Structure 1
Amino acid sequence: MKAILPRWQDGFLFLNGKDVELMIRVLLQSDDTYFVKAFSKYASTKCRSIEFICFTTAEKAVKFLAETTLRLDAVLATESVLEQVTGSTLRLQVSDRTVFADKNAVQINIYQSGTAIISDVSNALILAGNRSITAANGHQVQVVAAVSAQGGSGKTTICYALAAAAARTGKQALYLNLEPFPAFGQLYQQNFASTMDSILFALKSGQDLAPAVLDSMERNRDNVLVLPPFSFAGDLMSLTKEQIGMLLQVLIDKTSVDMIFVDLPEGFGQMNLWVLALCTVVLQVYTDDAAGRERLERVRADVYFKNLEIPGAIMTVLNKCRQRTSEEDIAGKFPMSESLAQGKQIADVQEKNPAFLKSCMDLLEKMA
């Protein structure tokens, strides 16, 4: 079967000369000819939920807007073109940074990866109330929480490793750390442009939370979406059940993410229970040694744990395994990794340790 290759005609893109009727249609205009041609080729092969009609000159874009009978859901263009957009069509300005704070003046950074551009456009459409984008993707968000009653279980490592592995498969994966004293050094390196302050302010003041969340999200080198850490443990601990629920609901309803991986503090404190009640999958992580297995059995036998209201599937994961022999009640086993013990970053371990990456992929497949 031949691949569908894009071709150019009169300034905009067709797919083999056919009018491809997709649920979402976006006009894209930029003076950067190299970007427009490179992005249109990428989008035509990688994005089946959005059709981008692309122009390199403002004049041709404006002419198209004046003459077309096609429905346009959004226009991503320079200011001179946006001035000609009428009706309910969403206006998005091409820029060197993405900003959602002003819904009437959303900017999209076109100097990032094609995946990130499509994700930002999708988020802008969702923020504006266009739910067709989620329907086009068969959008069902999985919320996966990692929890453990054992300190040093490797819960954080596995939680982030799964997010990175999901991103490798093309999923829009977000990693959310809700630990009061998180350590990110071994997970990824990221110089965040913002803090959680805008999110906290929106949560506590009742302002629209979605723009604050979207502006705070960043995509790291592993293609994982991440939020900045809380500046102080007290900020996190001050959140109520309703505010935690609001944050997760915005991530589910107002972004284009496919999977949210929530890294919870050790134990089963009140905040953990609030999050677990909202998850589709709960991963309980323990080490594959005498201490880890004893802690796991105590949790399983505990009446309190048995009676917890957890609607999602509970899956048990063993970490630092010396053997990969399967066990009926164990969903995944992660091998002992000397590289992780030496402080290597997870992306490097996944790249050089096929067994570790396979454990991630196998567990993701079981969660699907």
Structure 2
Amino acid sequence: MKLKVAILDNDINYLDRLTSTFNSKYADKLEVYSFTEKEKVIETLKKVRMDVLLTTTQFEIKDEELRGRCGMAYFVDTPGIESVKEKPAICKFQKAELIYKQILSVYSDMESNISNMKSFGDAAAVIMFTSPCGGTGTSVTAAACAVAHARLGKKVFYLNLETFGVTDSFFTAEGQFTMSDVIYSIKSRKTNISLKLESCIKQSQEGVKYFASPKVALDMIEMTDEDIEVLIKNIQITEGFDEVIVDIPFSLDRDKINLLSKADRIVMVNDGSQIANEKYMKAIQALNLIEQNGDIDIISKSCMIYNKFSNKSSVMLNDIPVNVIGGAPKYEQATTKQLIEQLSKMNHYNTILS
């Protein structure tokens, strides 16, 4: 599916550069029409259905002139402006990739029918990282797994579902959209979710795709377990991912258990301390009872990774019903990014889906 994009600007040089870049990088995704006169745009809109119109504020375009099904945004010269004349604003002077993602966002807000979105074949595998222990470094372990698998050539998405998640401490990339925009899209159900997600996706230098941390932590509380399921399913069919690595808080409530049971693999993280081991065994006992009382499968899908393991204070559990696939020591005085880099080199990440 190609989006038809009309660009109206009296700066011919800018039009030529942007159109040339779009035709070079997004020829399979965009069909670009450029104009310097409003009258020609309006005439074209009468004959050709456009999906998005980008124009400078020098031109006044009325809603009725958009023919009802065309999204619109104003070009601005300054970054950080969100809207102009009640329409989205897009900074002209930024990378073409960022402008492209904002075009997708504008279109997705206009289009509510998801049925004609392209599927990229088999759905991505879902690997959920969680821990009943707390403080074991589950998020860092999940991020390291995402980096490790991306370096193996897999298309990986990292999704942090913690209320106080700090994804931006793990990965960095340009782009204005955050998890807050994703949540709004999921909650409203008024946009083409797949396109909206694509507009919000960032890519780290390690090759991991992700959403930036929400603007406000309270936004995460707005997500129901049904919303989470919708989000994961849409990520699975977006951009042809091989894996979706989910960092999800551990809980025994019915909906969270249901989410865990739908994962292809569950990785529990433990540091081997006495308290962590006790919490882990209580969780396994509870999961056993839940499985006996319902038609779900969690334990057989689970494995365990020891993290922050100390020869002085950590002990490996014996006779547990899950495989221990590896472990990592406690790294002293290391930054978060250094931790992820060190952990991503561990061989046990290669065996998670085996």
Deviation at 1:77, TM superposition (A): 4.2
* Separation in structure 2 between the aligned mates of residue 94 and residue 195 of structure 1, nearest angstrom: 21
- The alignment yields a C-alpha RMSD, in angstroms, of 5.5
TM-score by length of 2: 0.60
The correspondence for 1:88, drawn from 69, 73, 90, is 69
Give the alignment partner of residue 335 of structure 2, picking from 340, 344, 347: 344
The answer to whether the Cα contact below 8 Å between 2:5 and 2:53 also exists between their aligned partners in 1 is yes
**Post-superposition offset of 1:246:** 3.1
Letter of the aligned partner of 2:305 in structure 1? L
2:55/2:75 contact within 8 Å kept? yes
Is the contact between residue 176 and residue 262 of structure 1 (CA under 8 Å) also seen in structure 2? yes
> Which residue of 87, 95, 102 maps to 1:105?
87
Deviations 1:29-62 (A, max 9, x none): 2643444433432223xxx4x133253x434993
Residues 227 and 74 from structure 1, CA distance in 2 versus in 1: closer, same or farther, beyond 3 angstroms? same
Secondary structure in structure 2 of the residue aligned to 1:135? coil
Instruction: Write out per-residue CA displacement over residues 266-289 of structure 1, whole angstroms, 9 at most, x where no aligned residue.
Output: 453567436436x53452323475
- 1:175, 1:224 within 8 Å by CA — same for their partners in 2? yes
Contact preservation (8 Å) 1:285, 1:316: yes
Q: Give the aligned partner of residue 345 of structure 2.
A: 355
Q: 1:151 is paired with a residue of what secondary structure? A: coil
SS at match of 2:301: strand
- Answering whether residue 107 of structure 2 is matched by residue 122 of structure 1, we say no
- Counterpart position of 1:15: none
Quick one: structure 1 residues 170 and 191, their matched pair in 2 at CA, closer, same or farther if it must change by over 3 Å? same
The answer to whether the aligner puts 1:62 opposite 2:31 as a matched pair is no
CA shift, 1:27, in A, is 1.9
Match of 1:7 in 2: none
The CA deviation at 1:330 is: 4.3
Aligned amino acid, residue 266 of structure 2:
L
Other-structure match for 2:188: 208
Gap runs ≥5 in structure 1: 1-22, 323-327
CA distance in 2, matches of 1:100, 1:247: 29
Asked if 2 retains the 8 angstrom alpha-carbon contact of 1:73 and 1:90, the reply is yes
Question: Could you give the per-residue CA deviations for residues 254-307 of structure 1, whole angstroms, max 9, x where no partner exists?
Answer: 995756654333453567436436x53452323475867786666545522534
What residue number does 1:225 align with? 211
Matched with 2:289 is 304
Superposition deviation, residue 157 in structure 1: 0.9
Identity %: 13
Counterpart AA for 1:105: K
Q: 1:272 to 1:75 in 2, by over 3 A?
A: same
Given residue 318 of structure 1, which amino acid in structure 2 is its aligned partner?
A: I
CA distance in 1, matches of 2:144, 2:283: 24
Q: Within 2, Cα distance between the matches of 1:63 and 1:185?
A: 41
**Bigger relative contact order, structure 1 or 2 (CA pairs below 8 A, ≥6 apart):** 2
